[in-house]
Structure formats: structure tokens, C-alpha cells
Chain A
Amino acid sequence: DTAVSQTPKYLVTQMGNDKSIKCEQNLGHDTMYWYKQDSKKFLKIMFSYNNKELIINETVPNRFSPKSPDKAHLNLHINSLELGDSAVYFCASSAYNEQFFGPGTRLTVL
């Protein structure tokens, strides 16, 4: 029944590692997003994909690379992790001007 799901829920890793976060939606939406929530709870969009094509890239470092194998999935790969990447990452999908969010992935870089 989960509309937007993300894995893993928690991710703890060392600086310099490469990691991926997966997102899947079963709502049939064409548009998906990645948002970053920092330690002060501030939310900012990172990427948006529409039907597997990138439509928004909000000046995110190129260490972050989204990949959309099909319109139900939008994965986020992060290379050479840095301390400042520690945050909660939310995936979302949308239709008719309403967005549905996943439960978030808490990434901690040590």
C-alpha cells in the first residue's frame, strides 16, 4: 500500500564512500523529486525528473547523480561522500499539483 517508498531508512557511512538511495512510487505519477532536509529542518529541492528525464537540477554538486530507470523509480547516487552531506533525503512524486513524500532516508557521514 505504500505510495512512495525509500530504502534504506538509515545510512551511516564514512567520508569518501559512494552510496545509493532508492525510491519507488506506485502512484503512476510521471514526475519525481529528491529533496534534502538539513539539520535545521530546512527543505530544498535537489532534482526533478519527468517521465525519466531530468527537468530540474538545483545547483547540486555533481557528486550527486540521480538515475531514473523507469518512471516509477528515481534513485540517488552520491560519490565521495562529505560530512556536509549528512541530512535527511526525501523522495516525492506528484500529479495535479500535489506532491506525495516518502518516509525519508537519514544519511550520516562520519
Chain B
Amino acid sequence: GNSVTQMEGPVTLSEEAFLTINCTYTATGYPSLFWYVQYPGEGLQLLLKATKADDKGSNKGFEATYRKETTSFHLEKGSVQVSDSAVYFCALSDQGGSEKLVFGKGTKLTVNP
């Protein structure tokens, strides 16, 4: 079945550091790929998405590129802020019509001033 593997945290960075959170997937067909963010005590918010190979999703300084050849969708940000501290989830969408999301285990990011 479909699955998502993302790097386990926690990840601790200083403000303005470069961030990479690795995500790889296993899927049949051509899934859509997503990054969701969960701030402390809140629900999930869509951060960015890509629906086909070589698409780049971007939002709030975060980027991820859909790489079919390496089945990856790594999240990057050039300069993190304290306000980016959250749990980040990589996910894929089953293209079988149900649109259900399969999530990775989440990566907790803490950014220190």
C-alpha cells in the first residue's frame, strides 16, 4: 500500500538556519504530495502541495519539489524563524477517488532565538 517516510525528529535549529526535512514515499500511480504544519495546540494547516512530477510547491518561504525519480518531496526553508516551531507532516493523497491522506510520522521542529 501507499506509505510516507519522513525524517524523525526532533529537529532543533537556531533562528536563520537552513531547514531540510526529508520525505520519501511509496505509491502506485501518481499521487499528489503535501506538507501540513501543526502549531502547538492547533489543527493541521496545509503548508504547500504539488500534484505532478517536477512541480514545486511553495508558501511562507518553504519549498518542496515533487521528484518522481527519487520518490521524494523534501521540505526546505532558507532561514527559519522562531514562529516556524511546529510539527511538520508529509502526506500523499490516494488518487483512487477517495482523496484520503496517508501521513508520515511527523517531524517536530524547534527554532531557538
Partner of A42, one of B44, B99, B101, B106: B106
Picked from B45, B89, B99, the residue with its CB within 8 Å of the CB of A43 is B89
Contact digits for A32-62, partner B, Cβ 8 Å, 1 yes 0 no: 0101000011111100101000011000000
Please report which residues of chain A, range 52-110, place their CB below 8 angstroms from some CB of chain B when the two chains form the complex.
55-56, 90, 92, 94, 97-104
Q: Are B45 and A101 in contact (CB under 8 A)?
A: yes
Contacts A42-B106, A43-B89, A43-B106 hold; do A97 and B44 have CB atoms under 8 A apart? no
B1 CB to closest chain A CB (Å) equals 11
Tell me the chain A residues, 1-16 only, with Cβ under 8 Å from chain B.
Answer: 4
Digitize B33-67: 1 where CB-to-A-CB distance is under 8 Å, 0 elsewhere: 00010100011111001010000000000000000
- A-contacting residues, B65-108, CB 8 Å: 87, 89, 93, 98-103, 105-106, 108
**Is B32 part of the contact surface with A, judged by Cβ < 8 Å?**
yes
Query: Hey, which chain B residues are within 8 Å of A41, CB to CB?
Result: 38, 87, 105-106, 108
Closest chain B residue to A88, Cβ basis = B43
How far, in angstroms, from A99 to B46 measured CA to CA in the complex? Answer: 8
Which 3 pairs, one residue from A and one from B, show the smallest C-beta to C-beta distance?
A101-B44, A43-B103, A101-B43
